[in-house]
Amino acid sequence: MDPQEPTIPDGARNLSGDTLTAAVLASFSHCASDRLTEIMSSLVRHLHAFVGEVQLTEEEWASGIDFLTRVGHITTDQRQEFILLSDVLGVSMQVIGINHQRPAGATESTVFGPFFTANSPRYANGDDMANGAPGEPCYLHGSVRSLDGAPIPDARIEVWQADDLGHYDVQYDDLESARGRGHLFSDRDGRYYFWSLLPTAYPIPDDGPVGDLLAAAQRSPMRPAHVHFMITAPGYHALVTHVFAEGDHYLDTDAVFGVKSSLIVPFERHEAGIAPDGRQMDRPFSTMRYDFVLAPVAAE
């Protein structure tokens, strides 16, 4: 025990204040791993200090327990309220900042979000991932490259985004197939190109306990317009990021604190005509280009 830690009374009875904290710390001194001991000890110290600092009442603690219980109850395979809670508290971005420090020039990471699903449909370059979702067509293209500019072929590119109503496909109960979601692979020159939707700003799900928290704090639930990307390739660190729409009203007030300036690009609007891939468009459409740069594992 640290010589500055309070002494635990014999029998560990009649505990309160510092002696209670010391007893709880001692109870975690023989964890299965040193790392677990470190994490639990820090958690206990900070949690006990928090309770003492704000002089937490029993009613407030009961309310907190009820809040976390409701977060658990509303969480499903399609809706991860705990990730949402982590996001709005800024914890997700703190963890990302610690674990995804990459060399200069590598594309920056941002929040994963609560709406990723595994086993998305596979598309070929040039296909339309919108798959009938409502919104203005958008042609998204660019490349996947290494730090030295070399193309990375066969990188798996996962994409998911909300429609122009602000909903992801998993938020609909009656859909039989994915919309605005899928994966494709970069070609031999590292290029990717596909159709989807022009992203729009939308509120995070605020009909649950996290929404109640934001309302009580008088915070906006809005996220700026963005498209999610997750890119993986052998020998490189996985990249989880967004591409944000330049000029969006909510870029500086993102509810989950996820905006990075390097991830903001223009989505250029075009009237009906010939698209970059030669397709004849009979309605307005947008285009976006972003070149992703992956950091090699060997760079660490």
Q: Which of 107, 120, 52, 103 is nearest to 244 (CA)?
A: 107
- Strands 156-160, 285-294: pairing kind: unpaired
pLDDT, tens digit (0-9, with 9 covering 90-100), for 168-214 = 999 898 888 999 999 999 999 999 999 999 999 999 999 999 999 99
CA Rg value for the chain: 24
pLDDT, tens digit (0-9, with 9 covering 90-100), for 122-180 = 999 999 999 999 999 999 999 999 999 999 999 999 999 999 999 999 989 888 899 99
pLDDT, tens digit (0-9, with 9 covering 90-100), for 26-43 = 999 889 999 999 999 999
Enumerate the domain spans of the chain: 15-56, 82-299
pLDDT at 299 > cutoff 50: no
The Cα–Cα gap between 197 and 290 comes to 15
Q: Which of 40, 197, 38, 35 is nearest to 129 (CA)?
A: 197
The answer to whether 147 touches 105, Cβ cutoff 8 Å, is yes
Q: Reduce the secondary structure of 159-189 to three states and give it as a string.
A: EECCCCCCCCHHHCCCCCCCCCEEEEECCCC
Q: Which of 217, 241, 247, 246 is nearest to 229 (CA)?
A: 241
pLDDT, tens digit (0-9, with 9 covering 90-100), for 216-257 = 999 999 999 999 999 999 999 999 999 999 999 999 999 999
**82-299 has CATH 2.60.220.10 classification:** no
pLDDT at 8 > cutoff 70: no
Strand positions, DSSP E, the chain:
137-146, 156-160, 181-185, 191-197, 202-203, 222-223, 226-232, 239-245, 264-265, 268-270, 273-274, 280-281, 285-294
